Structure 1
Amino acid sequence: MNSFYNNYKGIIWLLAGILAGSIAGLIFGQRVSILKPIGDIFLNLLFTAVIPLVFFSIASALGGLKETSKLSKMMGVMTLVFLATVLISASLTILAVKIFPIHEHMAAATLTETIVKKPFGDQLTQLLTTSEFFELMSRKSMLAMIIFSVLTGFATLRSGESGAAFSRFLHSGNEVFKNVFVIIMKLAPIGLGAYFAYQVGVFGPQLFGTYARSLGIYYGTGAFYFIFLFTFYAFVAGGVKGIKKYWKNNIIPSATAVGTCSSIANIPANLDAAEKMGIPQYISNVTIPLGATLHKDGSSISSIIKMAVVFALFGKGFDSMETIALALAMTVLVSIVEGGIPNGGYVGELLFISAYGFPPEALPPAMIIGTLVDPMATLLNSTGDTVAAMLVTRFTEGKNWLSTKA
Structure 2
Amino acid sequence: ASLIGEFGPKLLGDYGRAMLIYYPTCILYAILAFPLYAYISGGKEGVSRMSKYILTPALTAFATQSSVATLPTNMAACKNIGVPKDVYEIVLPMGATMHMDGSVISSILKISFLFGIFDLEFAGIDTYLMALVVSILSAFVLSGAPGGGLVGEMLIVSLFGFPPEAFPIVATLGFLVDPMATCLNAAGDTIASMMVSRVVEGEKWIEENKEEVLTI
Same fold (TM over 0.5): yes
**Aligned pair partner of 2:192 in 353, 365, 388:** 388
Pick aligned residue for 1:367 from 165, 171, 195 = 171
- 1:301 pairs with 2:111: no
**1:339 & 1:297 partners in 2: Cα distance?**
14
**5 Å matches for 1:23-34?**
none
2:197 & 2:122 partners in 1: Cα distance? 37
- Check conservation: 1:294, 1:339, Cα contact below 8 A: no
Residue 270 (structure 1) aligns with: 74
Gaps of 5+ in 1: 1-196
Instruction: State the match for 1:287 in structure 2.
Output: 91
Aligned residues with identical type, % of pairs: 43
> Which residues of 2 match residues 94-113 of structure 1 at below 5 A?
none
Other-structure match for 1:257: 61
Is contact 2:84–2:197 with CA below 8 Å preserved after alignment?
yes
Structure having the higher Rg: 1
Partner of 2:20: 216
1:333 counterpart (137, 142, 165):
137
Question: Partner residue of 1:23?
Answer: none
CA distance in 1, matches of 2:109, 2:133: 15
1:323 to 127, 132, 140: 127
Give yes or no for contact 2:91–2:193 (8 Å, CA) kept in 1: yes
Deviation by residue 1:25-49 (Cα, 9 ceiling, x = unmatched): xxxxxxxxxxxxxxxxxxxxxxxxx
One-letter amino acid of the structure 2 residue matched with residue 297 of structure 1: D
8 Å Cα contact 1:222/1:376 also seen in 2:
yes
* Other-structure match for 2:30: 226
TM-score by length of 1: 0.50
1:402 aligns to what? Answer: 206
Q: How far apart are residue 379 of structure 1 and its match?
A: 1.0
Aligned residues: 210
Identify the residue that residue 214 of structure 2 maps to in structure 1: none
Q: Could you list the per-position Cα deviations for residues 224-281 of structure 1 after superposition, in whole angstroms to 9, with x for gaps in the alignment?
A: 1122111111111111111101111112212222232221111000001111111111
Contact 2:66 2:144 in 1 (8 A): no
The residue type paired with residue 61 of structure 2 is A
Greater helix content: 1
